[in-house]
Amino acid sequence: MRYIPLTDQEKQEMLEEIGVESVDELFEDIPSRMLLKEPLPLPAALSEAELIRHFQELAAKNVDLSQTVSFLGGGAYDHLIPSIIKHIAGRGEYLTAYTPYQAEISQGVLQSIFEFQGLIAELTGMEAANASIYDGATALAEAALMACAVTGRKKVLLPATLHPEWKEVAELYLKSQDLAVEYIPYDPRKGTLDPAALEKTEWSQFAGAVVQQPNFFGLLEEAAPVSQRIREQGGLFIMAVDAISLGLLKSPGELGADIAVGDGQSLGNTVSFGGPSLGFFATSGSKLIRRMPGRVVGETVDKEGRRGFVLTLQTREQHIRRERATSNICSNQALNAFISTIYLSVLGKKGFQDVAFQNLQKSNYFQQRLLEIGGLSLKFSAPSFREFVIRGDVDWEEMNLRLLEHGFIGGLPLKRFGFPQAALFAVTEARTKEEMDAFINVFRGLI
Amino acid sequence: MRYIPLTDQEKQEMLEEIGVESVDELFEDIPSRMLLKEPLPLPAALSEAELIRHFQELAAKNVDLSQTVSFLGGGAYDHLIPSIIKHIAGRGEYLTAYTPYQAEISQGVLQSIFEFQGLIAELTGMEAANASIYDGATALAEAALMACAVTGRKKVLLPATLHPEWKEVAELYLKSQDLAVEYIPYDPRKGTLDPAALEKTEWSQFAGAVVQQPNFFGLLEEAAPVSQRIREQGGLFIMAVDAISLGLLKSPGELGADIAVGDGQSLGNTVSFGGPSLGFFATSGSKLIRRMPGRVVGETVDKEGRRGFVLTLQTREQHIRRERATSNICSNQALNAFISTIYLSVLGKKGFQDVAFQNLQKSNYFQQRLLEIGGLSLKFSAPSFREFVIRGDVDWEEMNLRLLEHGFIGGLPLKRFGFPQAALFAVTEARTKEEMDAFINVFRGLI
Amino acid sequence: MPKKKGVPLIFERSVPGRRGYRLPKLDVPEVPVDELIPAEHLREKPAELPEVSEVEVMRHYTQLSRLNHGVDVGFYPLGSCTMKYNPRVNEDVAALPGLSTIHPYQPESSVQGALELMYNLGQHLAEISGLAAATLQPAAGAHGELTGLLVIKAYHKQRGEEHRTEIIIPDSAHGTNPASVAMVGYDVVEVPSDERGGVDVEALKRAVGPKTAGLMLTNPNTLGLFDENICDITAMVRQAGGLLYYDGANANAILGIVRPGDMGFDIVHYNLHKTFSTPHGGGGPGSGPIVVTEELAPFLPGPVVAKEGDRFFFTQPEKSIGRVQAFYGNFSVLVKAYAYILSHGSAGLREVSEVAVLNANYMMRRLQDVYYLPYDRACKHEFVLSGKWQKQYGVRTLDIAKRLLDYGVHAPTVYFPLNVEEALMIEPTETEPKSAIDEFIEAMRQIAQEAKEDPEQLKKAPQLTPVGRLDEAKAARRPVLRWQKTE
Amino acid sequence: MPKKKGVPLIFERSVPGRRGYRLPKLDVPEVPVDELIPAEHLREKPAELPEVSEVEVMRHYTQLSRLNHGVDVGFYPLGSCTMKYNPRVNEDVAALPGLSTIHPYQPESSVQGALELMYNLGQHLAEISGLAAATLQPAAGAHGELTGLLVIKAYHKQRGEEHRTEIIIPDSAHGTNPASVAMVGYDVVEVPSDERGGVDVEALKRAVGPKTAGLMLTNPNTLGLFDENICDITAMVRQAGGLLYYDGANANAILGIVRPGDMGFDIVHYNLHKTFSTPHGGGGPGSGPIVVTEELAPFLPGPVVAKEGDRFFFTQPEKSIGRVQAFYGNFSVLVKAYAYILSHGSAGLREVSEVAVLNANYMMRRLQDVYYLPYDRACKHEFVLSGKWQKQYGVRTLDIAKRLLDYGVHAPTVYFPLNVEEALMIEPTETEPKSAIDEFIEAMRQIAQEAKEDPEQLKKAPQLTPVGRLDEAKAARRPVLRWQKTE
Ligand SMILES: Cc1ncc(COP(=O)(O)O)c(C=O)c1O
Ligand SMILES: Cc1ncc(COP(=O)(O)O)c(C=O)c1O
């Protein structure tokens, strides 16, 4: 078979060494009535050449972002990806390693995770970060759980403007532990959290309060009032931040956050139908740091005093604490975190700021062009970053199908999330003026 | 600029260390009237994203073999390429190394060349091979030069059935050293060298005689009579062999060749518009081995007796012997040779035979299907391997343009080589029955 | 004598003003930032990302990679982790633009190929497990466990049996099992193993009861042993009203041979990054789909893919627990697992397990005279040895593990499972050539010899690695978890 | 103590019957081979290729790669070789199917993008050189030399001046120059260098004459020095009726600053794998296009690309010498060089040379107190030191070079050029970060110290490399050039 090196003669030698006649004997401890009598009904094995052809055919049934100009966002973004990334991340030593349990022959992975932690700490303005969590949504859920564990309180405040899918994940995680979720309502005109509501909240009941920045609608939230109130009342302030926006916007650290989480897809990872991405998780203060879920790498030395890196604080992990672990996460999103590490390194301090800057400029340009068309308006009035919601008497889902015929995909129709006449447009640095202008031309004709 | 790390401040520090005010001072030894006064009139620099877009546009102006089913050959072949190859050959240690002059930190490249030499020696049945030459044509030219140098004779016999472009190269190389070329004529019915002509040849005048197997028309030559005659008369027998055919056909070693050369593109390299490919060069007997052009790697040991590999026999090389070197070749086609090394390793003994076998079977199938159409015939009667010449009252160049509209390219029109009604069809293992049958259907409609 | 230098941190390579990647120039009219965003939202201090050039990034991570082991570098017999070869063609197909650059919110008609792939993969996993319906959303094995337990919880809840709050787990279970149980608010009831290495059936009998929500089991278990009483075990739990959860991390032993569904399980999670050869990537991403019975299918997290005629579409199961991550799962991992299944077909998958088991038994038999073998019976795809014979020389399993690194192979899993003293858990997988297996056996035998004759040597190991044995205690005592700018 | 094992040969991993890559099953009716091919043509003994699995191939070449240095691994200051960073985006664009899988015999209308690229690259090289027309066919620098000399020969022949049979070459020339001259049947006339490191103009005066076919010169030369008398030199040769050939291997010093055409040269070859950053690939492939004056253009090998309106097409120059290889040149190397030019633009290329020269001068100045500097003047992109001060301690340049390997950098070019005793030829290129340059300087200084204090240490070097100093004499004495099956 394809990847099995053993020859028949070797098999024979090994069976003799074991002292059995056939491989079947090795399965004799399986109750025989359970044994499969028939081969599994799977398609016949494909050779490599056939396999490639088959996947090319499957791929051809999709319209990918290299064939279309898209303004979809909503948590997965089409950013420019430096070409160097795949050349590095494709090296077998990164791709085919396991979790670095044997530190002495895993310094490559360990040091890169240590660097990732430092990069995320820098981005978020927090003291420490872990080695990654599945995605932004689960990172937020873990943060909420951690807030409950740390404070002993049983309720968490989420923003009504949170990504709807993240809400679902957080609710599921929390409710399964009998923890309650309440929402801070939002101002439907501004599209951001309602300041009036903050006054009425009983902050002291909550383990933590969450703000998503920018929020699901791409709008900038006033995070400071929430931060101040929840912290004054002994809860944790949790920020779910868009990674790219941190090239421009106040960091969770600057806003007094106790925990910062977010999704790292936009940091060099392809959109890949929504996964794999990575969640990042950062916090401050040694008490909270020791309760972080997931893996952490720390610096140490060997006997000769040479610097080295190891998995550390593992008493938080399920390997050692089993049901008393801070989380059950084991495999995380290491390779995606590594990709983000390369991304942030090669973009660098200035380059990363440039990305945020161009996202702001281009989304503003496109917003203006859309509004010029007439019949469309901004659904919300708060300032936005990269994404904004357009309202118009348009069937946005139908519209996207028609746009597709011209090689375009418009914004994300918000009908599925309860706003039938609205669409969420994302504009990254990957969109050129030419593409945007061409979209406007076509769109004008279809609307 | 793109790939220059130096910052302005560093530049300043360095200028100070040097003791000059500006970089311009470092160029003061250039006569000032020569200095360029204007910037070079080149297009403006492109960022990575723009560059990629630009090349995508250029690429889109070509019809590539992933978009078309082609039966072109004539020295460049569309064979299956195992996916593992690019993953290995893309590793920076192979890609970004120079010629392995410092053996102790170049064992990777050196050992892989040593393996390449062994693989080529096995394929050709010769005692030793060099580390590669530019391509098959130049390898043949070098072989002819070597035959003259070794024998002291000034004439070389080439087969009339040699690839026309190889003829041009060999003639140029030989004639520039005042060495003469004569041709063994071919039998226009069989398409192979004319046995009668062999009788009339004055073999003792020639430094060497060449047979190409299969010949340019894909036909199998009777090599033994040429081999016997030229060697009896003190000349060298040189075989130019198709690499893939060696999975099935008698090797040069079995046919008594003194030198075997060929083109290695088909061993895992993309066609890439004809280059880079590689030429291989193998020979037997220590006298000839020491006169091989190009680089050679040999086995040795370090002080502790550990096996290691080094560039050796460099007295043949221009670095040391300058104008008395056996050839001027310096950079060769190392990475392509490495690709072929991986190819031959992963195909292995049996897999490599399978490729030759399938080429034979599929080309036979396709030939039969073409002949069924009617109005077409085989131009030559000798047995063929992978390629064959079809005759028909067709403008083959025009035909290819029409086929292209249906996603096909037929054979190579031989008009450019003097056979207006003929086309050379190549069928490799990469062509499926489905593709061939579809071609026949379309072709039948166009003819 | 110069020593081999360590690799500096990427931050330590930074020089102010140096640039790596640059964007195209802004091609739209620039508007002052503060006209678009009120100043109070703007960052005061930019993140101190490194300032390095492209060549330095390339070198940095190339150098680091050379300090790392991987399956591509050598044998990696890490028990329970199934470190098999990761076919590169699977990376290639997953990277096809038509599969890697599609957006999760595209119209369904524009991603039919992706949906078809997900649908088929779910079907194939159902066949392989002998169960009915799959969700591909969980991002890893532990995430699959969590999902499965949530399904169990929802099922009991719907039946009004919320008093069922206990999950039974054998003492040999992987640590994620109890941790996942805790994550969903259930209690763990641990049962011991019997002298054959299986679940102690008597103890299980005592453990089951009206509070039993279910049992989580790995079979073959983490000792690499197939539980001979599996029929009784599943029957017993089912009778008590509990559901049966199969941790499929060890599925590499049984593909096409026996199906969890046929053993009596209701829920299975697969680790696609183990059994189905998608690379571990230094710790992820993985993918942990779960497959369930017809009865449990309505509870699966959504969306899942359904088919009508030729059309594939997303749908939310009727009583869905909700969702366990954003979007649909680790799609590109799914692509690779699907490629792996298609490359093998039915006979091929069965051969995978046969050879994985053959390799393990061969190794076990060739090592049992020098290392203590706690359970002397045919193993499945892995087996557990104990370093307890070596203790007399003052050598611990950790020393043996570290010594192996000097031999150029990765160490087995050590000190797990917890129910074997000084455990060494060895899993060769089916993709190892016999030569690598024999070399490993030779190294293990030599180390056993060294343990007797020169135990100090082992305590000093490893010595041929980029760094020597690292001080883990120091790392944990005063954690340094990040680079910090020194002013 | 286990030693680090060497990597076996791929042949030594072979096991009979093992398979790597497999073809799809034959999908056409099988015909017995001997019905298609007479038995006398069939091979008697199959080639003994290794029988290994895919995982072994992957591991084998991964392991081997880890024994190798490269620009991606670290500093590579090999003089005359221009080991600059090889941008990976160039690999990506060259691998686009539309550029990598096009067949050389496709109809021209189906490869217009490829022709456009070749046409534009030729134009750009013409601008950069200050000459008129290019051929992209030569596969490497030496191949370009050969081509250029053939053009010279054809030119003289056409003018009935076949008595011109001598090519003048300075003693500092690269070895390929005289070798290429011999390849075309010309004689080499060597002229010495003067005390400033340039061509000895008096000697040149004596050398030129009626037999002079031309002069080959590298400028800056292999000492890294720009020949201040270049105007006189080219004028003198031209006056004697000779043509002027510029070996562009050192063009990295002068891009956008001075053009060979303006110096008086008729023919230039560029090493795209040096100046234009296409990777060296462990020794190739390279590409050595030549650019010539209007007058020489008709002699170029063909086909070359021409343009009419929007259409690009191949054409054979009128008096073409023929062709120097099959097809059109190393196309994918051309693609990368073109990408490099487009990434830099005019200002960028000039900066390349400025920084290459700045880096070299900085290094030279920081080393000249510890190593003898034979020519104390501003250098260009490289410079040559001599190890002669170290000889008093019994240390040779070879020892210095080997010692550098222990410091994790590649050694400079040594014992070349021939006109400097114990030469060390150092070329940093523009893509080195200052930190790498400073570390190299530090290593060189430390080695100078070691040479004084502990010369034995140097003679034992290298010690931190996968193998120690290798016995080259043994290799040459009884050459073992291949693996051989032992029966
Ligand atoms: C038996 C067993 N169960 C569960 C897991 C958890 O899988 P993951 O790491 O994908 O979360 C593992 C992985 O180590 C395992 O070996
Ligand atoms: C000055 C000089 N000329 C010519 C060459 C030959 O170039 P190539 O190796 O591409 O044939 C070199 C390469 O080392 C060189 O340095």
Same domain for A396 and A304: no
The parent domain of residue A213 ranges over 84-343
The residue assigned the tokens 């009504």 is A160
Backbone angles phi, psi at C462, to 5 degrees: -85, 150
* Of A343, A358, A393, the domain-final residue: A343
CB-facing half-sphere around the CA of C448: CA atoms within 13 A: 18
* pLDDT band of D127, cuts 50, 70, 90: very high
CA distance A418 to A186: 15
Tell me the C-alpha distance between C166 and C150, whole Å.
13
Whole-number pLDDT of residue C2: 58
Q: Say if residue D259's pLDDT is above 70.
A: yes
Q: Are D76 and B92 in contact (CB under 8 A)?
A: no
Is residue B317 over pLDDT 90?
Answer: no
Give yes or no for a contact between C370 and C409, defined as CB atoms under 8 angstroms apart: no
For atom 9 of ligand 1, which residue has the closest CA? A331
* A4 occurs within a structural domain: no
> Is residue B314 located within the same domain as residue B357?
no
Expressed in angstroms and rounded, the spacing between residue A98 Cα and the centre of ligand 1 is 12
Q: What is the mean pLDDT of residues A166-186?
A: 97
Tell me the CATH number for domain D351-477.
3.90.1150.10
| Chain A nearest CA to D80, separation (Å) | 27
Cis ω for the linkage preceding C16 (within 30 of 0): no
Same domain flag for A404 and A392: yes
- Residue B66 and residue D97 in contact, taking contact as beta carbons nearer than 8 Å: yes
Residues C459, C395: contact at Cβ < 8 Å? Answer: yes
Average pLDDT over residues C449-456: 96
Predicted pLDDT at D164: 98
In which band, very low, low, confident or very high, does the pLDDT at A321 lie, cut at 50, 70 and 90? confident
For residue A1, tell me if it sits in a domain: no
- pLDDT of B324 higher than 90: no
Residue C3 has pLDDT above 80, yes or no: no
What spacing in Å lies between the alpha carbon of D225 and ligand 2's midpoint? 17
Helices (H) and strands (E) in chain C, counts: 16, 12
Q: Mean pLDDT, to the nearest integer, of C431-460? A: 97
Asked whether residue A431 is assigned to any structural domain, the reply reads yes
Cα B159 to the center of its chain, rounded Å: 18
Residues of C in contact with D351 (CB under 8 A): none
Is the C-alpha dihedral spanning D223, D226, D232, D236 positive or negative? Answer: positive
Torsion of CA D8, D10, D14, D19, to 10 degrees: 140
The mean of the pLDDT values for chain B is 97
Q: What is the pLDDT of residues A38-82, one digit of tens each?
A: 999 999 999 999 999 999 999 999 999 999 999 999 999 999 999
For residue D3, pLDDT beyond 80: no
Token reading at D227? 């020949």
Give a yes or no: residue B415 inside a domain.
Answer: yes
Whole-number pLDDT of residue D334: 98
Residues B292 and B378 both lie in one domain: no
For residues A334, D68, D411, B290, the Cα torsion angle rounded to the nearest 10 degrees is: -160
Q: Do residue A241 and residue A376 come from a single domain?
A: no
Confirm if A358 and A429 have CB atoms less than 8 A apart: yes
Q: Are residues B355 and B243 in the same domain?
A: no
Taking the C-alpha atoms of residue B228 and residue B234, their distance in angstroms, rounded to an integer, is 10
User: D1 pLDDT exceeds 70?
Assistant: no
Indicate the pLDDT class of residue B1, thresholds 50, 70 and 90: low
Chain B neighbors of A87, CB-CB under 8 A: 90, 92
State the pLDDT at residue B273: 98
CB distance from D18 to chain C under 8 Å? yes
Q: Where in chain C is the domain with CATH 3.90.1150.10?
A: 351-477
Contact D301, D135 (CB under 8 A): yes
**Degrees to nearest 5, angle at CA A264 with A263 and A266:** 110
Q: Above 70 in pLDDT, residue C372?
A: yes
SS3 C339: helix
Mean pLDDT estimate for chain A: 97
What is the predicted pLDDT for the residue at B321? 85
What one-letter code names the amino acid at D31?
V
- CA–CA distance, C154 with D373 (Å, rounded to integer): 82
Best mutation target among B64, B85, B424 (most D Cβ atoms within 10 Å) is: B64
Domain boundary among B292, B315, B343: B343
CATH number of the domain residue A268 falls in: 3.40.640.10
**pLDDT band, very low/low/confident/very high, at A320 (cuts 50, 70, 90):** confident
Q: CA A247 to CA C43: how far, in whole Å? A: 8
Mutate to test the pocket of ligand 2, among D216, D218, D245, D271 (most ligand atoms within 8 A of CB): D271
Closest CA to A424 of A217, A213, A242, A191: A217
Query: Which of B300, B319, B343 is at the close of a domain?
Result: B343
Give how far Cα D156 sits from Cα of B173, B176, D148, D323, Å. 17, 13, 12, 19
Judged by a CB distance cut-off of 8 A, whether residue D131 touches chain B is no
**CA distances (Å), C392 to each of C389, C396, D66, in order?**
6, 9, 39
H/E element holding D135? strand D133-135
Report the distance separating Cα D6 and Cα C477, nearest Å. 40
> What pLDDT does D484 receive?
86
What is the domain count for chain A?
2
What is the average pLDDT across D55-71? 98
Atom of ligand 1 at shortest range from CA of A331: 9
SS3 helix, strand, coil % of chain A, rounded to 5? 45, 15, 40
- Where in chain C is CATH 3.40.640.10? 89-344
Per-residue model confidence (pLDDT) at position C187: 97
Task: Answer whether C464 touches A (CB < 8 Å).
Answer: no
Task: Give the mean model confidence (pLDDT) for residues B93-118.
Answer: 98
Give the whole-angstrom CA distance, residue D376 versus residue D360. 13
- Residues B258, B407, single domain; the answer is no
D315: nearest Cα among D324, D328, D302, D296: D302
Asked if residues C352 and C343 have their Cβ atoms less than 8 Å apart, the reply is: no
In a domain, A281, yes or no: yes
Please name the chains neighbouring A, where neighbouring means 3+ C-beta pairs under 8 angstroms. Answer: B, C, D
Cβ distance A47 to D22 less than 8 Å, yes or no, reads: yes
Please tell me whether residues B334 and B377 are part of one structural domain.
no
Q: Between the CA of residue A174 and those of A43, A132, A162, B411, C144, what are the distances in Å?
A: 41, 20, 16, 67, 17
Our measurement of the distance from residue B24's CA atom to the centroid of its chain's CA atoms, rounded to an integer in Å, reads: 45
CA distances from A133 to A3, A93, B59, C283 (A): 31, 21, 40, 11
Give the pLDDT band of residue B314 (cuts 50, 70, 90). Answer: confident
Assess whether pLDDT exceeds 80 at residue D4. Answer: no
Neighbours of A8 (CB within 10 A): 8
pLDDT at B92: 98
Instruction: Over range C331-338, report the average pLDDT.
Output: 98
User: What confidence tier does A318 reach under pLDDT thresholds 50, 70, 90?
Assistant: confident
How many angstroms from the chain centroid is the CA of residue C281?
A: 11
Residues B284 and B182 reside in one and the same domain? yes
**Is B253 among the domain residues?**
yes
Do A136 and A248 belong together in one domain?
yes
| pLDDT confidence band for C244 (50 / 70 / 90) | very high
- Expressed in angstroms and rounded, the spacing between residue D430 Cα and the centre of ligand 2 is 19
Q: How many CB atoms lie within 10 A of CB C372?
A: 17
CA C270, CA C249: separation in Å to the nearest integer?
6
Per-residue pLDDT for C1 more than 60?
Answer: no
Percent of chain B whose pLDDT exceeds 70: 100
* Beta carbons within 10 angstroms of residue B434's beta carbon: 10
Mean pLDDT across the stretch C14-39? 97
Contact B243, B280 (CB under 8 A): yes
Q: What is the DSSP string of C261-319?
A: HHHT-SEEE--TTTTT----TTT------EEE-TTTGGGS-S-EEEEETTEEEEE--TT
CA distance C89 to C102: 20
Report the alpha-carbon distance of residue B382 to residue B217 in Å, rounded: 10
Compute the mean pLDDT over every residue in chain D, rounded to the nearest whole number.
Answer: 96
Q: Which residues of C touch D406 (CB under 8 A)?
A: 1-2
**C241 with C274: CB under 8 angstroms?**
no
- The pairing of strands A259-263 and A279-283 is antiparallel
φ and ψ at residue A373, rounded to 5 degrees: -60, -35
Name every chain B residue with its beta carbon within 8 A of the beta carbon of C21.
48
Residue B130: partners with Cβ closer than 8 Å, 6 or more residues away:
B117, B280, B281, B282, B292, B293, B294, B295, B296
Report which of C41, B211, C69, D10 is spatially closest to residue A101, judged by C-alpha positions.
Answer: C69
What is the third-level CATH fold of D89-344? Aspartate Aminotransferase; domain 2 (3.40.640)
For B189, which DSSP code?
A: T
Residue partners of C466: CB distance under 8 A and separation at least 6: A104, A105, A107, C4, C6, C67
* Contact by Cβ (8 Å): A122, A349: no
pLDDT band with cut points at 50, 70 and 90 for residue A314: confident
Instruction: Give a yes or no: residue A2 inside a domain.
Output: no
Q: Which residues line ligand 2 (CB under 6 A)?
A: B 330-331; D 80-81, 140-142, 174, 176, 218, 222, 247, 249, 271, 286, 288
Q: A284, C446 in Cβ contact below 8 A?
A: no
Could you report the per-residue pLDDT of C169-223, keeping only the tens digit for each?
Answer: 999 999 999 999 999 999 999 999 999 999 999 999 999 999 999 999 999 999 9
Q: How many angstroms separate the CA atoms of D237 and D186, rounded? A: 16
The CA radius of gyration of chain A, in Å to the nearest whole number, is 25
D250 contacts D382 by C-beta, under 8 angstroms: yes
Residue pLDDT, tens place only, D351-398:
999 999 999 999 999 999 999 999 999 999 999 999 999 999 999 999
Residue pLDDT, tens place only, B195-205 = 999 999 999 99
* Residues B309 and B359 placed together within one structural domain of the fold: no
Write the CATH number for B387: 3.90.1150.10
- Given this model, what pLDDT does residue B364 score? 98
Which pLDDT score, from 0 to 100, does residue B315 have? 81
State the Cα angle at D42 between B132 and B282, rounded to 5°. 20
**DSSP secondary-structure letter at B249?**
B
Write the residue with the smallest CA distance to atom 12 of ligand 2.
Answer: D249
- Give the residue from C240, C173, C258, C228 showing the smallest Cα distance to C204: C240
Does the pLDDT of residue A110 top 70, yes or no? yes
Task: Report pLDDT digits (tens) over B132-187.
Answer: 999 999 999 999 999 999 999 999 999 999 999 999 999 999 999 999 999 999 99
Q: How near does any CA of chain A get to the CA of C263, in Å?
A: 6
Find the CB nearest A48 among B83, B90, B92.
Answer: B83
**Amino acid occupying residue C347:** A
A275 shares a domain with A141: yes
